[in-house]
Amino acid sequence: MGILNVTPDSFAESPHIQDPDAAADAALRMEAEGADVIDLGGESTRPGADPVPADEDLARVLPVLERLRGRLAIPISIDTCKAAVARAAVAAGAAIVNDVSGLRRDPAVAGVAVESGAALVLMHSRGTPKSMNEEAVYDDVVAAVARELRASLDAAVAAGLPLERLIVDPGLGFAKRASHSYGVLARLRELAAAIDRPLLVGPSRKSFMREALGDRPPTERDWGSAAAVTAAVLGGAHIVRVHAVGAMVQVVRVADEIRRHDAGRRRHQAS
């Protein structure tokens, strides 16, 4: 999943892409580099970010969707927790809704997916971008993430969404200290077994890597991101959300081969 943020304040891109033509070109480049899906967002969800009204969010993403209609062969995901934005984006061509709040902020997002036939990603988080760091308190982070993601899944199913259209994301860096994000990555296989839904993992350029890499800017964290992406794939992730698509496609393909051979070895031992 290639990240396409059309915001003036995204934490990980430099320069920021706000021109719709440039954004459409970036999406097409990511497709050519091997992306399977493009995740388009018009509102930054980094810790401390200010909320963006729905009309402003739509003014950023709809022109990009219009320019990509009929030109992009892979699906587009709309990164939003607002039902109004999700509805308009799906009508303009998005096939997936990526809700970083897991339906906590606007439960009507589930109804948009039900009505439109879109798939829905439910991410684990707590609070808002302004308050999430204060809520990063866990006795057992994996148990808490699994429990809270199951609550989001239950809400989506209650709204009428079939399980096969639901994907979950443990939300690395969202309401989590660095130790929590590393803990989730290390125990991803356990989380996958507890939830039994496809996993999307988004480690790319996130600040939890400062603990290992020091205080370098996000655009200089791609090697660290490669390590985290490898861990995610080996831990059972089905989708990884990344900035540097071309490089990470290579990382994913090699990690996937390692996982395939390990699965074959385990089957052989079991027989």
- Break the chain into its structural domains and give their ranges: 2-270
Catalytic residue among 206, 221, 253, 259: 206
How many CB atoms lie under 10 A from the CB of residue 65? 24
pLDDT tens for each residue of 186-199: 999 999 999 999 99
pLDDT band at 245 (very low <50, low <70, confident <90, very high): very high
> What's the per-residue H, E or C state across 221-239?
CHHHHHHHHHHHHHCCCCE
Among 75-79, 101-105, 138-142, 267-271, the least confident range? 267-271
Catalytic residue among 104, 241, 253, 265: 241
What letters, b where the CB count within 10 A reaches 16 and e where it falls short, cover 25-43? ebbbebbeeebebbbbbbb
The answer to whether 259 is a known catalytic residue is no
The answer to whether 82 is a known catalytic residue is no
- C-beta of residue 106 within 8 angstroms of C-beta of residue 151: no
- C-beta of residue 165 within 8 angstroms of C-beta of residue 113: yes
Q: Alpha-carbon distance 264 to 259, whole Å?
A: 9
Give 2-270's CATH code, choosing from 3.20.20.20, 3.40.50.2020, 3.40.50.300, 1.10.540.10: 3.20.20.20
pLDDT at 182 over 90: yes
pLDDT tens for each residue of 92-148: 999 999 999 999 999 999 999 999 999 999 999 998 888 898 999 999 999 999 999
Tell me the average pLDDT across 254-267.
89
